[in-house]
Amino acid sequence: MSTAQARLDYSRLSADLFKKYLDFSMAFKMDEGLALLVDIRASQLNGCAFCLDMHVKQARIHGERELRLHHVAIWRESTLFTPRERAALAWTEALTQIGPDGISDAAYAQAREAFDEAALSELTFRVAAINGWNRLNVAFRNVPGSKDRLFGLDKAGLN
């Protein structure tokens, strides 16, 4: 698999859909730090290099500590995350890797313990949004870092 060149520019070819999906993705009101942890974890699970690169840079610009970023992949063993963050990461994993039996009652109960109904609904939409972006960028092989200047991600100092 070659990762040096994108397959096609879906943002140009489907400009109206891209804009609507981007507007949807920007409509969330949840805590930005939590949202970025969710985006990072889903992108790790989906193997989306473009999104992982982007969201790590966004998290650094947002002030996230470097060690916590390294620990997202091992969040279950790490002591660096709050109970709410842990619940969000568990919910992200459950929704990103839906098994043949769907989402378990235990996973839902854990999420509901940390989030009220409205917050869990928004979190679920957030996970759905990042999974969609991951699928677009994996399918068309957007090159990590290729849009840094456009999105202001060069400010992260991680080039």
- The yes-or-no verdict on residue 157 having pLDDT over 50 is yes
Distance CA 68, CA 70 (A): 5
Residue pLDDT, tens place only, 40-79: 999 999 999 999 999 999 999 999 999 999 999 999 999 9
Q: Between 1 and 37, where is the model more confident? A: 37
Sequence-ordered alpha helix ranges (H) in 27-142: 32-46, 49-62, 66-71, 83-96, 105-114, 117-139
Cα separation values, 49 from 4, 137, 158, Å:
12, 8, 15
pTM: 0.92
pLDDT, position 144: 86
Where do we find the tokens 């397959």? 7
Contact 122, 28 (CB under 8 A): yes
Distance CA 107, CA 110 (A): 5
- The yes-or-no verdict on residue 159 having pLDDT over 90 is no
What fold is seen in the domain 32-156? Answer: AhpD-like (1.20.1290)
Residue pLDDT, tens place only, 103-154: 999 999 999 999 999 999 999 999 999 999 999 999 999 988 787 677 777 7
Distance CA 129, CA 69 (A): 21
